Structure 1
Amino acid sequence: MLRPKTLRAGLFLGGLAWVVATGAGLLAVHSYELTPGPTVEADRIWPAGSRLRFDPGRANLVVVAHPRCPCTRASFEELSQLIDRSQVPLAIHVLFYQPRTARGRWGPEDLHRRAAAIPGVEVLQDSGGEEAARFNAETSGSVLLYDRQRRLLFAGGITAARGRTGDNLGLEAVIAHLSGSTAQATAPVFGCSLRNLSDSPEEREK
């Protein structure tokens, strides 16, 4: 039979181990949320071979989205904030990744409806991520802003972390550029890798 002191010590050590394990798990989740994808190394000029219709009458914003990435909804929330706050004519192009074998719209229908509801938006189903590759965008949530002369002003993300909304440098930078102010040209992109998601057996079968 265990002595009271031995029993208390065992309970204490067991509780301590649980706290450490729980803390490590929470730290890992927090670290993942704050880990950005690759930097968007886009060309300084709108790609000549793009299938998107560039509008020379206003600034053009390209949004790259994987419909099965859980971070995409946060990017769309911040996109809504951008539209509401900028008050500047803006041509928005949404690239929805889809597997090469998919037919029609792929992924959660509400995301497609939300994108289609943006006034004047162009939505493109991006088979195999070919169009995103023209903009050198590898991560869902990548946003690229071009001026009327097709010059790149900003390439990066507009969320605070993976799946999180709120104040962030990317959103503020895009709004500043649209107002004619000087602002940073990039910000971290917090989202899923288009390549990793598209290459997984689970995604190919969906």
Structure 2
Amino acid sequence: MTLNPHAVRPGGAGSPPGRWPAGTAIRVDPGRPNVLIFLHPLCPCSRATVDELTGALGRAEGRPAVDFVLVRHPSLLGEAGRGIDPRAAALQGCRIWDDLDGAEARRFGVETSGRVLAYDAQGRLAFSGGVTPSRGHRGGNEGLDSVVAFVSSGRATSPSHAVYGCPLASPSKPSCRAQAAGTGRRD
């Protein structure tokens, strides 16, 4: 399968803080690892991220606190896009946050849909990155392995991995939708 250049072009890295940020409505769970997943609910690549994480975390040895943060822009509230919610809710014990206009994403320094942040029980960042090998694709990759290792042992095998997704700041429909044709995505 050949991927078009868009499929393998990572999104913006952002600048996630090394410590859990003050002022966020999302609370760190001091008793276990904390995994946050930031998603644009209309980005078709988000489904691959949710599927990879729910499958991997469901099999991991540890039980992290998992928060899905869905960035919702006021101009898109009438659009369908809650399709990510049932997939995310399949992971027992997770919380789903509506991040109206991206305030939480900005607080956590996240720019790209599919960004996963893993913080330890003391609120220290252990991993920041994506968990898919390219836009909208599933399969083994260093990012997913790092999150699973962190949840299971408290140590990520790598501190970062490229993230593939649409810009969260985009109030319009994500660019992946227009680029999805011809990528060989399985969504």
Q: Same fold (TM over 0.5)?
A: yes
Shift of 1:106: 5.9
Check if 1:185 corresponds to 2:150.
no
After superposition, the Cα gap between the structure-2 partners of 1:174 and 1:162, relative to the gap in structure 1 and judged at 3 Å, is same
Q: Distance in 1 between matches of 2:68 and 2:79?
A: 14
Check if 1:125 corresponds to 2:98.
yes
Check if 1:116 corresponds to 2:86.
no
Alpha carbons 1:139, 1:193 under 8 Å: kept? yes
The structure, 1 or 2, with the larger RCO (C-alpha pairs under 8 Å, 6+ apart) is 2
Q: Which of residues 33, 37, 43 is equivalent to 1:63?
A: 37
* Map of 1:169 onto structure 2: 142
Gap runs ≥5 in structure 2:
175-187
Q: Which of residues 14, 31, 50 is equivalent to 2:24?
A: 50
What code does the residue aligned with 1:88 have?
Answer: G
SS at 1:61 equivalent? strand
Gap runs ≥5 in structure 1:
1-25
* Map of 1:36 onto structure 2: 10
**Superimposed CA distance per residue, residues 66-121 of structure 1 (whole angstroms, 9 cap, x where no aligned partner):** 11101001001111222133220210001111113566x96333321222232111
Alpha carbons 2:41, 2:83 under 8 Å: kept? no
Q: Distance in 2 between matches of 1:165 and 1:63?
A: 16
Q: Distance in 2 between matches of 1:142 and 1:182?
A: 15
TM-score normalised by L of structure 2:
0.84
After superposition, the Cα gap between the structure-2 partners of 1:97 and 1:107, relative to the gap in structure 1 and judged at 3 Å, is farther
Check if 1:140 corresponds to 2:98.
no
After superposition, the Cα gap between the structure-2 partners of 1:88 and 1:110, relative to the gap in structure 1 and judged at 3 Å, is same
User: How many residues align structurally?
Assistant: 173
* Map of 1:14 onto structure 2: none
Alpha carbons 2:129, 2:161 under 8 Å: kept? yes
Structure 1 residues 68-77 or 174-183, which shifts more?
A: 174-183
Shift of 1:174: 1.2
* Map of 2:185 onto structure 1: none
Runs of 4+ in 1 over 2 A off after TM superposition: 100-103, 105-110
TM-score normalised by L of structure 1:
0.77
Shift of 1:132: 0.7
